[in-house]
Amino acid sequence: MSMNTSHTTLVKGACPHDCPDTCALLTTVEDGRATKVQGNPEHAPTDGVLCTKVARYTERTYHPERLLQPLRRTGPKGSGQFEPVGWDEALDAIAARLKTIAARDPQAILPYSYAGTMGLVQGESIAARFFHQLGASLLDRTICASAGAEALTQTLGNKVGMKVAFFAESKLIVIWGSNSIGSNLHFWRVAQEAKRQGAKLVCIDPRRSETADKCHEHIALRPGTDAALALSLMHELIVHDGLDADYLEQYTLGWEALKARALQWPPERAAEVCGIPVKQIQDLARDWGTIKPAAIRLNYGMQRVRGGGNAVRAIACLPALTGAWRHRAGGLLLSSSGHFPVRRAALQRPDLLGERRPRTLNMSTIGDDLLRPSSAEFGPQVEALIVYNSNPVAVAPESGKVVQGFAREDLFTVVLEHFQTDTADHADFILPATTQLEHWDIHTSYGHTDVLLNQPAIAPVGQARTNTDIFRALAARMGFDDPCFLDSDEALCRSAIGDAQDFAQLLTHGFASLPVPDAPFAQGGFPTPSGRCEFFSQRLADQGLDGLPDHVPNYEVTDPNGRYPLAMISPPARNFLNSTFVNVQSLRDIETEPVLEMHPQDAQARGIEDGVVVRVFNDRGVYHCRARLNQRARPGVVHGLGIWWRKLGLNGTNVNELTSQHLTDLGRAPVFYDCLVEVAPDPSFVAAPAKKESHA
Ligand SMILES: Nc1nc2c(c(=O)[nH]1)N[C@H]1C(S)=C(S)[C@@H](COP(=O)(O)OP(=O)(O)OC[C@H]3O[C@@H](n4cnc5c(=O)[nH]c(N)nc54)[C@H](O)[C@@H]3O)O[C@H]1N2
Ligand SMILES: Nc1nc2c(c(=O)[nH]1)N[C@H]1C(S)=C(S)[C@@H](COP(=O)(O)OP(=O)(O)OC[C@H]3O[C@@H](n4cnc5c(=O)[nH]c(N)nc54)[C@H](O)[C@@H]3O)O[C@H]1N2
Ligand code: SF4
Ligand SMILES: [Mo]
């Protein structure tokens, strides 16, 4: 399991972050201290390479501001003023408060968590059991991928697709809504291999990203217009005889209906909607119809708009039109997570609810929901919030409202964290949690099909405890005596995944591959109700929705004469992972300050020079950052990069001050990239001195 030299150990682990690559880690431990985190060269998808962020994992783990002991609030809500408190005292007080609230109605308690760790054990195992036993409100975990996930499930039957390694053999790769170099580095390495073998790379992205720079073709469409482009590609394939009639006949459902829809989208119409040349559409359609094998790497960046679900449905149809799935290097990959036989019910134990059916609250509308009073439709006002693996004050949309909700003096908030984030600033109690180097976990992936085991490399830093251990301790204090609360983390790892998992192999190698066929849909066999690729979805039609994919325009469509004439998207900054790593100095030094990328033409029209502080605003709020003028932005679109910590920004806000709480067409997800703003120079702006984290 680990190799011993004199006082050095090499421990096998898994990267816990919300990233499709799920790298295998090797941590060097010298005399009990982790000194280096590297990629495991034996794990093919990792290939011995990590991104810059996780290569700095020891800097994050031993960060001087790491939370080392439980803290109790001393100042007003949100002031960030805390005093140290013992574990027993903190846990007793939390359990007592939860008991009081639960005695009235446990649904007034809301867990709030996401993918700070993607681990099945430190994610939702004991925590989920705890909230199920309690009967707390359920959380609809929609903040990232649920529009695309729902769309893919309706079309292909599950979150399934190509195996990432075979992109190396593709001759045409369409990178659609993904800055792979920044957010899917190990796929990019495979695409580079294909490029060396003569493949053509096309990038579809409003932003001229680092990835777009390195592709042969860049189609810079307006945000939220991908379905129009996809339908028009279908139009061209129909008109110019690019279809695989045999594949359509044998393995798809609803072709005649989809064909009629696609014929409404001649390239001239789509070009107008997308704001791109007609020729780009015609050329891509010709390539998609003639170059084989052809593959699409779709990513979630393009589904954060009103029509995000429909757009994913339209794009997911494209491989079936040309029979691209026949080849293992053809087809599409958005997510591979549906391939894993995770035993979710055994881990999370929804049966502990018994007959109770608590309400479900959507994490993407936490701003509104924290401000809602009790009512017949809503149920009880949220009185307590337990946050783990997430930083909602920074990452949830319309943060003005989120902050107002978290600032409620009557709301009882507990935050399990590594650092005093913007969310932790609003806690009544902050509980220090272990990092990936300090605990057991088991990981699936949404970018490859290997299971990874993470073994602890070092003892918990300070008084940190695992999420599981914290919920076990709370369960005991609540009087929950089901034996499932005693399961150890190692036992949870062993039981997490069905028969595909050989635990001995995981202990030895750190990873194991699932038995997934190389070309899963070469002869149909889609995991849909019909077994076919469902262009038409009866399940959607039964819900009163359009059974066919269509272009659904953004909620906020640009109007050059409108009050807010610029469309803003806010994709990740390469050196942060959502809001994680923003407080790691060496990485923040690379990103420097919060920026807004603008096209020089838009800047000039507003008297904005490169590097000046600007006000970005709409009816929801104001965000200050520095203008960065370059050709990455197309005219009419601006980019507020990365999810900065509010308190490390220029005026104590971040880009989510401007985003809305509207939801997508499918999957109830947020529409971060469907957002209109105006921008103005702000020469009088003086940055507030950066707030220091203070715990004492
Ligand atoms: N370095 C880094 N890596 C990350 C993350 C991070 O924050 N930093 N986040 C992780 C997470 S949580 C996720 S969900 C994944 C995936 O995260 P994604 O959100 O898919 O991130 P990106 O790959 O950056 O892809 C977003 C790209 O989509 C583009 N885009 C925006 N709107 C549209 C549109 O309407 N149409 C099209 N075609 N493109 C659009 C953006 O300009 C951007 O280049 O990445 C993960 N990896
Ligand atoms: N404007 C805009 N907003 C966005 C996005 C965007 O592109 N633009 N992207 C959205 C997307 S795709 C996503 S996925 C969400 C991400 O939102 P979140 O899932 O909230 O992700 P992070 O901001 O990385 O915050 C995760 C937190 O979990 C903590 N954490 C990590 N591991 C552990 C652990 O083991 N125990 C405990 N207790 N804590 C831990 C980390 O310290 C970190 O503070 O943000 C969304 N918000
Ligand atoms: S964040 Fe992604 S690329 Fe970086 S180490 Fe983790 S899994 Fe690999
Ligand atoms: Mo995400």
**For residues 78-105, average pLDDT:** 98
* pLDDT band, residue 694 (cuts 50/70/90): very low
Encode pLDDT of 207-260 as tens digits: 999 999 999 999 999 999 999 999 999 999 999 999 999 999 999 999 999 999
**d(CA 15, ligand 3 centre) in Å:** 6
| 5 has a pLDDT exceeding 90 | no
Helix (H) or strand (E) holding 403: helix 399-406
Atom 6 in ligand 3: residue holding the nearest Cα: 15
Query: Is the CB of 578 within 6 Å of ligand 3?
Result: no
For 71-143+379-513, CATH number out of 3.40.50.300, 3.40.50.740, 3.40.640.10, 3.40.50.9100 equals 3.40.50.740
Amino acid at 685: F
pTM over 0.85: yes
Q: How far apart are CA 370 and CA 139, in angstroms?
A: 13
**For residues 341-370, average pLDDT:** 97
Helix (H) or strand (E) holding 452: strand 450-454
Encode pLDDT of 506-541 as tens digits: 999 999 999 999 999 999 999 999 999 999 999 999
User: What rounded mean pLDDT belongs to the chain?
Assistant: 96
Ligand nearest to the backbone CA of 183: 1
Residue among 125, 389, 441, 673 whose CB has most ligand 2 atoms within 8 A, to mutate: 389
Residue among 205, 315, 389, 555 whose CB has most ligand 1 atoms within 8 A, to mutate: 205
**For residues 350-369, average pLDDT:** 98
Query: Is the CB of 573 within 6 Å of ligand 2?
Result: no
| 696 has a pLDDT exceeding 60 | no
Q: Do 44 and 68 touch, CB atoms closer than 8 A?
A: no
Q: Do 333 and 449 touch, CB atoms closer than 8 A?
A: no
Atom 4 in ligand 3: residue holding the nearest Cα: 51
| 686 has a pLDDT exceeding 80 | no
Encode pLDDT of 100-122 as tens digits: 999 999 999 999 999 999 999 99
Q: How far apart are CA 475 and CA 482, in angstroms?
A: 9
In the three-class reduction of DSSP (H, G, I as helix; E, B as strand; rest coil), residue 81 is classed as: coil
**For residues 670-690, average pLDDT:** 87
Structure tokens at 654: 């971040």
Give the atom of ligand 2 at the shortest distance from the alpha carbon of 435.
Answer: 35
pLDDT at 692: 47
Query: Is the CB of 578 within 6 Å of ligand 2?
Result: yes
**d(CA 47, ligand 3 centre) in Å:** 12
* pLDDT band, residue 36 (cuts 50/70/90): very high
Give the atom of ligand 3 at the shortest distance from the alpha carbon of 185.
Answer: 3
User: How would you classify the pairing of strands 613-618 and 621-629?
Assistant: antiparallel
Q: Do 618 and 606 touch, CB atoms closer than 8 A?
A: no
pLDDT at 7: 84
User: How would you classify the pairing of strands 217-219 and 200-204?
Assistant: parallel
Q: How far apart are CA 441 and CA 443, in angstroms?
A: 7
Ligand nearest to the backbone CA of 420: 2
Which among 672, 20, 675 is positioned nearest to 396, based on CA atoms?
Answer: 672
Structure tokens at 275: 């704001």
CATH topology of domain 566-681: Barwin-like endoglucanases (2.40.40)
Show the ligand 1 pocket: residues with CB < 6 angstroms: 18-19, 144-145, 176-179, 182-184, 204-207, 209, 223-224, 226, 299-302, 305, 569, 571-572, 574, 576-578, 673
Which among 207, 297, 118, 114 is positioned nearest to 669, based on CA atoms?
Answer: 114
| 569 has a pLDDT exceeding 60 | yes
Q: How far apart are CA 651 and CA 399, in angstroms?
A: 14
Other Cβ atoms within 10 Å of 685 Cβ, number:
14
pLDDT at 499: 67
pLDDT at 684: 84
Give the atom of ligand 1 at the shortest distance from the alpha carbon of 573.
Answer: 8
pLDDT at 528: 97
**d(CA 115, ligand 2 centre) in Å:** 6
Q: Do 568 and 638 touch, CB atoms closer than 8 A?
A: yes
Query: Is the CB of 422 within 6 Å of ligand 2?
Result: no
Encode pLDDT of 487-503 as tens digits: 999 999 999 987 656 89
**d(CA 184, ligand 3 centre) in Å:** 8
- DSSP string for residues in 454-477: E---SPPSTT-B-HHHHHHHHHHH
- Residue 259's contacts (CB-CB under 8 Å, 6 or more residues apart) are 234, 238
**d(CA 394, ligand 3 centre) in Å:** 21
Amino acid at 52: T
pLDDT at 695: 42
Encode pLDDT of 108-158 as tens digits: 999 999 999 999 999 999 999 999 999 999 999 999 999 999 999 999 999
**For residues 283-307, average pLDDT:** 98
- Residue 174's contacts (CB-CB under 8 Å, 6 or more residues apart) are 202, 203, 204, 284, 288, 294, 295, 296, 297
Domains in the chain: boundaries: 2-61, 71-143+379-513, 147-334, 566-681
Query: Is the CB of 669 within 6 Å of ligand 3?
Result: no
**d(CA 55, ligand 1 centre) in Å:** 21
**d(CA 463, ligand 2 centre) in Å:** 23
Q: At what angle do helices 278-290 and 267-274 cross, to 10 degrees?
A: 120
pLDDT at 560: 87
Query: Is the CB of 387 within 6 Å of ligand 2?
Result: no
Encode pLDDT of 605-649 as tens digits: 999 999 999 999 999 999 999 999 999 999 999 999 999 999 999
Total residues belonging to the chain: 696
**For residues 592-606, average pLDDT:** 97
Ligand nearest to the backbone CA of 303: 1
In the three-class reduction of DSSP (H, G, I as helix; E, B as strand; rest coil), residue 111 is classed as: strand
* pLDDT band, residue 693 (cuts 50/70/90): very low
Q: Do 693 and 65 touch, CB atoms closer than 8 A?
A: yes
| 204 has a pLDDT exceeding 80 | yes
**d(CA 89, ligand 1 centre) in Å:** 42
| 282 has a pLDDT exceeding 70 | yes
Residue identified by tokens 């507990």 is 414
Atom 4 in ligand 2: residue holding the nearest Cα: 395
Q: Do 409 and 77 touch, CB atoms closer than 8 A?
A: yes
Amino acid at 351: D
Encode pLDDT of 47-85 as tens digits: 999 999 999 999 999 999 999 999 999 999 999 999 999
CATH topology of domain 2-61: Phosphorylase Kinase; domain 1 (3.30.200)
Domain spanning 147-334, CATH architecture: 3-Layer(aba) Sandwich (3.40)
Rg (CA), the chain: 25
**For residues 663-675, average pLDDT:** 98
User: How would you classify the pairing of strands 384-388 and 412-417?
Assistant: parallel
Topology agreement, domain 2-61 and domain 147-334: no
Query: Is the CB of 50 within 6 Å of ligand 3?
Result: yes
**d(CA 93, ligand 4 centre) in Å:** 33
**d(CA 312, ligand 4 centre) in Å:** 16
User: CA angle, corner 581, sides to 620 and 121, nearest 5?
Assistant: 100
In the three-class reduction of DSSP (H, G, I as helix; E, B as strand; rest coil), residue 217 is classed as: strand
